[in-house]
Structure 1
Amino acid sequence: MGSTTFAQEVAYEEYDLDNGLHVILQQDNTAPVVTVGVMYHVGSKDEEAGRTGFAHFFEHLLFEGTENIERGKWFDIVSAQGGNNNANTTQDRTYYYETFPSNSLQLGLWMESERMMHPVINQIGVDTQNEVVKEEKRQRIDNAPYGKIIYGTGINPHLFEKHPYGESVIGSMEDLDAAQLEEFVSFNHKFYNPNNAVLVVAGDFKTEETKKMISDYFGPITNNAPKPERTVIEETPITHTIKATEYDSNIQIPVKILAYRTPKMSARDAYVLDYVSELLTGGKSSRLYKKMVDDQKIALQVLAFPRSMEDYGTYIIGALPLGDVSLKTLTDAMDEEIHKIQTELISEREYQKLRNNFENQFVNSNSSVQGIANSLARYYMLYGDTSLINKEIEIYRSITREDIKRVANEYLQSNQRLELDYLAEPAQ
């Protein structure tokens, strides 16, 4: 039997301001550190056709400055107080955060309220960040080996014909170049409102003082638009194998990719697929690594990118051949292991190891105030249940060996996937 790790329950309080801003407070006075995070319910799936990349662009643009924060000074202000900050964008949300020594909490709240209430969106900021985003795309996708796999730009368009998940988060540079300033202003008005956001404060603070500061700084912010209404775009089920080839001028070794469309992040089966992913490709002790890299020596590496999203998910597995091993040989080896999970219950020992791994991951995700702030915002916004910060581990604990077999059968069939040959660019 494996050991069981128990995470300490995260105590939190949540409430709404009159303008619709959801607030979550998680007080922990054990260290003099505090994180202020604001998550906006806007990601690449909310963009209009022909205007991809707006959500990610805004992640950059809203660091430009505000009416009361001089252009280009955001990071200087934070670092001068011994803090750090960052932001990130997914298909579903955009998240900004600062972590400060706790005596700078007021500064963090003021800065995020400034970002929400007084952003300066002008042509010089748009032009500056346009170049920054282009360089990021060049570094991460265009000029990076396997960049189109890592960021899904060579995969998602094959899995999603209707849903915006088929577009890349970083978007099209042509779309950004073509956009007018008023379009950026309009995007801000539509999505960057209190009614479309959650504010999280986690760490060392005094509750009543903090509530008053939140009321003072965020309470006066008005909504420029009603809360966005979304309808989930239903994809047609994949019933025939999709075969595709992509080329990458930055690589010498090809990759065989098998990619599946999977359930949305809040579905219980998405949690079961996390177990399947860990079993097949979770590190050097995983089934595919041991079989293909260690034992048969047909693969240089195996890889996996399980991605849960608000409306759907994807599970991407692949392998790099060793020497002149064919991509078909890699496919056959991966399919053999998938078939085993579909036809045989995994061993009790493997099952216990999986459970222990996920318990450890769960504990580690809540081991810092920064991690807790992110988790609270994400569970509230994308799962609609903040209490998952304490209860999610029970979902993983409830998964049975029979669940693993059932889910592998339901979602990992060869006629429901993309088979991608990812090849070096042929010589001209």
Structure 2
Amino acid sequence: MNKLKLTIGIFFLGIAGFAQKVDYTEYNLDNGLHVILHQDNSAPVVTTSVMYHVGGKDREDGRTGFAHFFEHLLFEGTENIGRGKWFEIVSSHGGKNNANTTNDRTYYYETFPSNNLELGLWMESERMMHPVIGQEGVDTQNEVVKEERRMRMDNSPYGNILPAMQKNMFEKHPYKDPNIGYMEDLDAATLQEFKNYFKKYYVPNNAVLVVAGDINIKDTKKLVQDYFGPIPSGKDVVRNLPKEEPITKEVHAKFYDANIQIPMTIIGYRTPEFGNKDSYVLNMISKYLSDGNSSKLYKKLVDQQNIALQVGAVNLEQEDYSMYLLYSLPQGETSLATLNTEIEAEITKLRSELISESDFEKLQNKAENSFVNSNSSIEGIANSLARNYLLYNNTSLINEEIDIYRNITREEIKEVANKYLKPNQRVIIDYLPKSEEKKAE
């Protein structure tokens, strides 16, 4: 090992050394709410968060996008928080808050100075117990969601990459539809349908509450019981989502975007769910192929061959099926077919050869660095605890996940590439400027 390599190795070992064990306490309230408490008194801040097990996939045909819609609607107000006052209350008490929705879950959180712990708990209990779901709020948030869709998808360059892939990768499972849903579905929904949706999914036994930061465990348990204990549980959520048949023959489709001038190729493979060991291996393969300027695809397509403006790979992990995506923008007159051929050449190497020891060592260092960074803040720890419990069914992953990456071998990388990243298992999308559509007719 040369001096530079030794220095880099010591640097990353030093970073990993800061990945101290995250202590936590977890238990259930009588109404089924799972509670996780993490005490860290090193800074006077606290994060209160609730993750609900409801996402874009929880819908009926003709009623898509409800979970994302509720991400917005549940900031409208409650019986005790005036309409439009939510953000004002948070900011006036020195806090910040946000929410986000995926196909599998919805996450709300506030971060306050720790003397406002009770305020954070009260607000989240209000959201769960006393939301005002009225026609005025529904109409207002309907317009907000429409504007978000226009901004992020319809009027944004490359804004429909994921929907284009989802539509072609899934035939039966709700993952075939965009998380934000279709606007005509929200327009057609009645107020009672929204109320029924809330009653079904936004209940204590379908959620996890995480409180992390400058707290006292005993005192916090009492506050949690006071504010969340009286909330009645709901019926157990039962999902019978359709299963997809394996992809055994390459799917090749086109999508036209009026907001772009440069085409893009997107290659997708259906991959395993959250928590599957193979999914961790695919995350490492992503870093190997496209993490940084020295990664295999970037170095080859952008630096050496000068045929791509950009190239990337990512494993989009989900609860039922994940999607492994590779994408590239051509340089000059380079065809999308040429990019696909060169990308496949690198995938072929992964399937047929072991990666080098030096590349493997670098991958492990990157995995450790990412793990440390994800838990370097109270907000990050709260998110990890909630996600690990709700989606992975294993809260202890917050301390054990790094060992999963450390135990991955070069042989497993080759095996997983052979298992999931074959040409007959892929979906290829030619993502083209709208102007090309007429030429294709």
Q: What TM-score does the superposition give when structure 1 sets the normalisation length?
A: 0.98
Within the candidate set 27, 32, 43, 2:55 is matched to: 43
Residue 280 of structure 1, aligned match among 278, 282, 289: 289
Letter in 2 for 1:226: K
2:197 corresponds to which letter in structure 1? F
Question: Equivalent of 1:186, from 191, 196, 206?
Answer: 196
CA distance in structure 2 between the partners assigned to 1:306 and 1:285 by the alignment: 19
Q: Distance in 2 between matches of 1:110 and 1:183?
A: 27
| Conservation of the 8 A alpha-carbon contact between 1:232 and 1:311 | no
Q: Distance in 1 between matches of 2:289 and 2:282?
A: 10
Equivalent positions of 1:268-417 (< 5 A) are 268-417=277-426
Deviations 1:42-70 (A, max 9, x none): 00111111100000000000000000000
Aligned partner letter, 1:138:
R
CA distance in 1, matches of 2:314, 2:60: 26
Q: Answer whether contact 2:205 2:236 (CA < 8 A) is retained.
A: yes
- Which one of 179, 192, 198 corresponds to residue 208 of structure 2? 198
Alignment of structure 1 residues 104-119 onto 2, 5 Å:
104-119=116-131
Number of the residue aligned with 1:30: 42
State how far apart, in whole Å, the 2-side matches of 1:99 and 1:173 are. Answer: 32
- Tell me what 1:154 maps to: 164
Give 1:286 deviation, angstroms: 1.1
2:69 maps to what in 1? 57
2:106 is matched with which residue? 94
Answering whether residue 270 of structure 2 is matched by residue 258 of structure 1, we say no
Tell me the CA shift for residue 233 of structure 1: 2.9
Q: Output the CA distance in 2 between the equivalents of 1:245 and 1:11.
A: 49
Count of residues in Structure 1 that have an aligned counterpart in Structure 2: 425
- Whole-angstrom CA distance in 2 between matches of 1:317 and 1:26: 37
- Superposed CA deviations along residues 155-209 of structure 1, whole A, max 9, x for unmatched, are 1111111111111110000000000000000000000000000000000011111
SS of the residue corresponding to residue 153 of structure 1 reads helix
Task: Supply the distance in 2 between the matched residues of 1:305 and 1:365 (Cα, whole angstroms).
Answer: 17
Deviation string 1:105-163 (CA, Å, 9 cap, x unpaired) is 000000000000000000000000000000000000001100111xx111111111111
Q: Give the distance between the partners of 1:21 and 1:328, measured in 2 at CA.
A: 51
Question: Residue type of the partner of 1:341?
Answer: L
Confirm whether residue 122 of structure 1 aligns to residue 134 of structure 2.
Answer: yes
- Matched with 2:3 is none
CA distance in 2, matches of 1:305, 1:177: 34
- Note the C-alpha offset of 1:231: 3.3
Amino acid across the alignment from 2:246:
P
Q: Tell me the secondary structure at the aligned position of residue 260 of structure 1.
A: strand
Deviations 1:15-37 (A, max 9, x none): 00000000000000000000000
Separation in 1, partners of 2:398, 2:76? 33
**Which whole-Å CA distance do the structure 2 matches of 1:365 and 1:262 have between them?**
23
1:63 alignment partner, SS class: coil
- Of 4, 8, 12, the residue aligned with 2:24 is 12
1:76 and 1:131 map into 2 onto residues whose CA distance is: 21
SS of the residue corresponding to residue 137 of structure 1 reads helix
Whole-Å Cα distance in 2 between the matches of residues 129 and 246 of structure 1? Answer: 29
SS at match of 2:157: coil
Q: Residue 15 of structure 1 contacts residue 22 of structure 1 at CA under 8 Å; is this kept in 2?
A: yes
5+ residue gaps, structure 1, are: none
Contact 1:154 1:246 in 2 (8 A): yes
What RMSD over aligned residues (CA atoms) do the two structures have, in Å? 0.9
TM-score computed with the length of structure 2 as normaliser: 0.95
Structure 2 residue 401 is matched with structure 1 residue 423: no
Aligned twin of 1:169: 179
Shift of 1:232: 4.8
- 1:284 shift after superposition: 1.6
Cα separation, 2, equivalents of 1:274 and 1:101 = 35
Q: Secondary structure at the match of 2:283?
A: helix
Runs (4 or more) in structure 1 with deviation over 6 Å come to none
- Whole-angstrom CA distance in 2 between matches of 1:143 and 1:322: 24
Give the Å deviation of 1:252.
Answer: 0.5
Decide whether the 8 Å contact of 2:297 with 2:312 is kept in 1: no
**Letter of the structure 2 residue corresponding to residue 40 of structure 1:** Y
**Is the contact between residue 379 and residue 387 of structure 1 (CA under 8 Å) also seen in structure 2?**
yes
**C-alpha distance in 2, partners of 1:245/1:278?**
27
Task: State the SS of the aligned residue for 2:391.
Answer: helix
8 Å Cα contact 2:78-2:130 kept in structure 1: yes
Q: Is there any run of 5+ residues in structure 2 with no aligned partner, and where?
A: 1-5
Sort the Cα spacing of 1:195 and 1:383 in 2 relative to 1 into closer, same or farther, 3 A: same
Residues 242 and 417 of structure 1 are in contact (CA less than 8 Å); yes or no, is this contact kept in structure 2? yes
2:404 counterpart SS class: helix
- What is the SS of the residue equivalent to 2:46? strand
Of the candidates 83, 90, 115, which is equivalent to residue 78 of structure 1? 90
Q: Aligned partners of 1:108, 1:304: CA distance in 2, in Å?
A: 38
Q: Do 1:62 and 1:119's aligned partners in 2 also have CA atoms closer than 8 Å?
A: yes
Amino acid at match of 2:176: G
> Aligned pair 1:103/2:112, yes or no?
no
| 1:221 counterpart SS class | coil
- Aligned-residue sequence identity (percent) comes to 63
Q: Which amino acid aligns with 1:206?
A: N
2:248 is paired with a residue whose SS is coil
**1:272 is aligned with what amino acid?**
V
Check conservation: 2:289, 2:312, Cα contact below 8 A: no
Instruction: Report deviation, 1:305.
Output: 3.3
